[in-house]
Structure 1
């Protein structure tokens, strides 16, 4: 890790960990001399420096990290160590390692965590690195909104996603219905399906505790109805009569009338997709598009091939986000850390976007690169799980989640989201009213801002 003048390595990390709001953002990391780079094709050149190993700190997702580590070792002869946590545990694990002065070459972030990581000094800007400008030019708008912070490129894409609805086509036919076009129609259909004993719980929500699981469901439906959580000036939009509050009242009603599967309260994105594959619900959503690769996988779902994608009501507006990999300031060697970062979020030695292509083809994850999103990796590769054209149409109507809930740029977003999860689950389970929930969240804003 590069030192700031007059600041010791360990002291800087400890101080930054405590000083979330101290303003030590990207400016504190800039203006430092860079290493000497080999000339030529950036992703194919071997750095002049030497390391005996590298590492990354990420959250778990299948076996993608063992594969990319093997490829890196095969190409460069350097082993890669990994620290892998669950998605929800990742931010805490990463910050604990950083505060403990451990070496971290590359790590990973959701858009909900990245501003916090930047403010605490973990993130190395990439603009001056070889090939960075080419990556920047190929970013999708969604990826750019996350990977570019305060005018600087700070990450390379892991994946992108949009929020969609799913429905079980056989149950839809049995009920003699067509996919809903309004929220009133949604409620009518769910009541009919329950009354006719076609499904005990017609809808499965993603309402499990997390940074973007339960919150994302509320964000998406609020945005689709024309609302936001905070305006551009940062003022909350949760008061009486607000769209967010009225949306929550509607959402609570699905539980009150026992239309919503109670298991929804435990469901993350993947677990909800697996549960929907049992064929017990008519609708699932709104949630990440790539759940189709589970719900329509014959090896994982009894109703594979019968789960269809559906856009949101009205004008179809929805939300999307991109997750990124970043070069950590605690790296052992900037040149080699950049090389590893590219294997995760950019090009491999052969010049291919190997990780992005594999994730799109094998896991239905969207890419943060325009060249990948417009390739047959998407238009053909997604066909086993869903209708690529339909999904891409929904993609075109997606707005970055930070536009709906811009508190993600604030250091207090984490503790406030913790409260949001608690209060909303209380409302969904009937312990408090939606009005009380929103009042509590408004009060919590001032509490977390005070620290």
Structure 2
């Protein structure tokens, strides 16, 4: 992988050692005196740590506080659960939407209801983000780190060479296009996606495809729904692999397959929306300038939309102090600026849960340079939040699902057998967590 791209893609799944000491202040009338002796503890995944440190410097200038920040090495969520199970005190931590209910049920975190300005904060966010960040009882579990969705992109030059007039809008037309692209020698592996077993890879891609085809996946009782739409998506994945329309190592590609797409080798990809910036950046991508976005193929054209959060620990050193820490990183600073969120948007293309941020002319102009913003807005309107992830058993089922779907894609077992495995696992976990 190109070293500059590798540095750019350093993500929260990467390993990083070390920690940084932060200083900041609160907005609740604390005077500019010596920082409190008892530090707030803040842990998180690794993503652009040098910028996190710069944001911390801004925080230090605006506040007078004492915070210890720890970067977690390895697979973030399991490591954090180990720390919390062992009794480590944490005041603020990152989480993806599929862990917020689990951690709250374990009494590791608390909700934010009743804290200052919380109703106004929720009113300023997109409904799908509020839903994503809420607990099963509707209470807000955290403030937004970023809001994302899975997007569908294509190499326009490849389609032109193959004489394909428009990007595919169904799974059958996607497979047909891939076959032609390969037969014509334009791409040896036309389709690319994140098919690994980590939490933002095959699961997120599959749910996006399922929602795009109209599969609910789970019903209102959180029972697994094996309808024709769900089966269609599974069988499409198996066909793509069987006919070698994907690279043979697609299940082990690093950085969710983004560097592989940046080689210009592939035509289509489902990826996190912010990674479109990488695909169209000439510093990192040989396909830059050729990559366009379209609505997800499928009957409904929906996709999986999520919002990652900053959560408050169940036993904060001081609720008011920790609330201000959350608000600085997950919202507005006391000077009225979205210091952290706006920088993520402008430099890395991360979307925001806040309507005000996404309407910012500077951000809208920046986003429009590397994707069709109207298509992005339409895709967000069609996006689906994964309600089933509010169940504390879901992360275990999710990993089980990815492991078994990988085996199925490789050709092991029938669709009916896979459906039975996935459905039975739901029933077993529900009993286990009663």
Task: Give yes or no for TM over 0.5.
Answer: yes
Match of 1:215 in 2: 203
Q: What secondary structure does 1:144 align onto?
A: helix
Match of 1:395 in 2: 380
Question: Matches of residues 51-450 of structure 1 in structure 2 within 5 Å?
Answer: 51-63=37-49, 64-85=51-72, 89-149=75-135, 150-177=137-164, 178-238=166-226, 242-267=228-253, 270-285=255-270, 287-313=271-297, 314-402=299-387, 406=388, 408-450=389-431
Cα distance change on mapping 1:193 and 1:143 into 2, 3 Å: same
Cα distance change on mapping 1:127 and 1:412 into 2, 3 Å: closer
Partners of 2:112 and 2:118 within 8 A in 1: yes
Q: Unpaired runs of 5+ in structure 1? A: 1-41
Partners of 1:276 and 1:284 within 8 A in 2: yes
Partners of 1:52 and 1:78 within 8 A in 2: no
Q: What secondary structure does 1:81 align onto?
A: strand
Aligned-residue offset at 1:315: 4.0
Aligned-residue offset at 1:188: 1.2
CA distance in 2, matches of 1:154, 1:411: 14
Cα distance change on mapping 1:310 and 1:148 into 2, 3 Å: same
Partners of 2:213 and 2:301 within 8 A in 1: no
Q: What secondary structure does 2:249 align onto?
A: helix
Q: What secondary structure does 1:417 align onto?
A: helix
Cα distance change on mapping 1:133 and 1:51 into 2, 3 Å: farther
Superposed CA offset, 1:419-447 (max 9, x none): 11110010111233333222211222233
Partners of 2:112 and 2:142 within 8 A in 1: yes
What TM-score, normalized by structure 1, do the two folds share? 0.83
CA distance in 1, matches of 2:372, 2:245: 28
Match of 1:46 in 2: 30
Aligned-residue offset at 1:138: 0.8
Q: What secondary structure does 1:318 align onto?
A: coil
Partners of 1:229 and 1:244 within 8 A in 2: yes
Superposed CA offset, 1:91-150 (max 9, x none): 222222223332211111111111101101122222222232321221211221023322
Partners of 1:160 and 1:321 within 8 A in 2: yes
Give the length in aligned residue pairs. Answer: 401
Partners of 1:295 and 1:304 within 8 A in 2: yes
CA distance in 1, matches of 2:181, 2:302: 27
Match of 2:4 in 1: none
Q: Unpaired runs of 5+ in structure 2? A: 1-25
Partners of 1:43 and 1:342 within 8 A in 2: no
Partners of 2:304 and 2:385 within 8 A in 1: yes
Aligned-residue offset at 1:351: 1.5
Superposed CA offset, 1:242-298 (max 9, x none): 321232012111111111222321246x4422210100011111x321111211122
Superposed CA offset, 1:316-338 (max 9, x none): 22221111111112322222111
RMSD: 2.1
Partners of 1:44 and 1:351 within 8 A in 2: no
Q: What secondary structure does 2:367 align onto?
A: coil
What TM-score, normalized by structure 2, do the two folds share? 0.87
